[in-house]
Amino acid sequence: MNLRSVDIPLLTARKLLFWAGLLLLATVVCVGVYSFIGGAPIGDGRFWASKVWQLRVFRLLAGAVVGSALAVAGMALQGLMRNPLAEPYVLGLSSGAGVGVLLGPLLAQWTIVPDWLSAPLLALAGALLTAIVVYAVAQRHGFLNPYVLLLSGVIVNVFNGALILVILQFVKQTDMIQFIGWGMGKLPEWLWFESRLLWLCGAVTAGGWAVIFLRGASLNALGLGDEVAASSGVAVSWLRVELFIVIALMTSAAVSLAGPVGFVGLIIPHACRLMVGPDHRLLTIISGFVGAIFLMTADTACRLLGEAIKVGELPVGVITALVGGPVFILMLRRREGKGQL
């Protein structure tokens, strides 16, 4: 028997390019199609200048950024922790970034940082701080206990949630509805006249995505344990630091745009892993685009559903949580059944 008779599709550069091209196309098509869906009072026929068009396209672009940032960050977190249940939302990174985003407008008057930039910067600080706390609680001599990891994520989430409630006390009654929608994860509608945040978060997401893609082979090695990875040529401690920073950056980008949207980083990598296998190089490409498409679809569904039941619009975080919660429980039960977590 030789290797040639074994039918295993090996990963090639051509395969990576094929998937990247195909899914990029699909993403663009989605932006185009979804922006035409639904009631469109175009007005005097100048569609391209209409608010509806601008509103929807910018919102869809934001959805693409948020979806891919969360999906790729989730996948990287799972690879790094060797735990498919790790996710920015579950581990409290999203709520940490959320505290930062809410503090932004309150603190902006005392800093020289421009208003629009203070929220994402504070989000990054919040996400990094949360990541350090959760990691420090869950690790013993560099080894992570997966149960303690999830538990510390839960606890940090509750803590951050309390901070958010405290901050909300300082919010005007009239703005409350908006803040509550944001707290559930909602794509913004004002990006067409203030798009700097979108470009910044898009750039951060693209950069982080590229870094994680380049570390895909190292993440594969890390799946075999720290020592095996290190002896295969991976600088493990540096990889941890680097990827934690990248994950925090991407989570902050997503949360700055849309608030803490839950479970995207869990569902998307999991579904993609079922489809194309666990190789992190291919998985980075695929889950990024699928995340983008998923979130745009979910948001469009929310928009239509909201119109249909006449409650305005549902926050997209409601749908991701309704889908993600059960998926999380199913995954947990199945892994428990196999005696591993």
Partner 1 sequence: MTTEPVLQATDLHFAYQAQREVLSGVSLGAAAGKLLCILGPNGSGKTTLLRCLLGQLLPTRGNVQLDGKSLRRMSPRKRARLLAYVPQFPESAFAVSVLEMVLIGRLAHAGTLGLAGKHDLNVAREAMKMTDTLDFANRTLGELSGGEAQCVMIARALAQQPAVMLLDEPTSHLDIRNQLKIYGMMQRLAHDWRMAVICVSHDVNLAARFADELLLLRTGRVIAHGPVSAVIQPDLLGQTYDVDIRLYTPDDDSGPLIWAQ
Q: 């995340």: which residue's tokens?
A: 291
Contact positions vs partner 1 (CB under 8 A): 1-3, 6-8, 10-13, 16, 79, 82-84, 214, 216-218, 220-221, 223-225, 227-228, 230-235, 273, 277-279, 281
Nearest residue (CB) to partner 1, 67 versus 79: 79
Contact predicate 316/189, CB 8 Å: no
Q: How far is the CB of 301 from partner 1 (least distance, A)?
A: 31
Q: How far is the CB of 232 from partner 1 (least distance, A)?
A: 5
Nearest residue (CB) to partner 1, 73 versus 282: 282
Q: What is the DSSP string of 73-142?
A: HHHHHHHHHT-TT--TTTTTHHHHHHHHHHHHHHHHTTSSS-HHHHHHHHHHHHHHHHHHHHHHHHEETT
Strand segments, DSSP code E, in 266-334 are none
Beta-bridge partners for 139: 144
Q: How far is the CB of 341 from partner 1 (least distance, A)?
A: 11
Nearest residue (CB) to partner 1, 34 versus 213: 213
Strand segments, DSSP code E, in the chain are 139-140, 143-144
Q: How far is the CB of 204 from partner 1 (least distance, A)?
A: 22
Nearest residue (CB) to partner 1, 119 versus 276: 276
Q: How far is the CB of 23 from partner 1 (least distance, A)?
A: 18
User: Residue 237 gets which letter from DSSP?
Assistant: H
Nearest residue (CB) to partner 1, 236 versus 255: 236
CA distance 220 to 229: 8
CA distance 265 to 90: 9
Q: How far is the CB of 246 from partner 1 (least distance, A)?
A: 16
CA distance 57 to 60: 5
Question: What distances in angstroms separate CA 148 from CA 80, 81, 106, 137, 326, one per listed residue?
Answer: 16, 12, 34, 8, 21
Q: 């703005």: which residue's tokens?
A: 175
Q: How far is the CB of 238 from partner 1 (least distance, A)?
A: 9
Nearest residue (CB) to partner 1, 44 versus 227: 227
Nearest residue (CB) to partner 1, 106 versus 228: 228
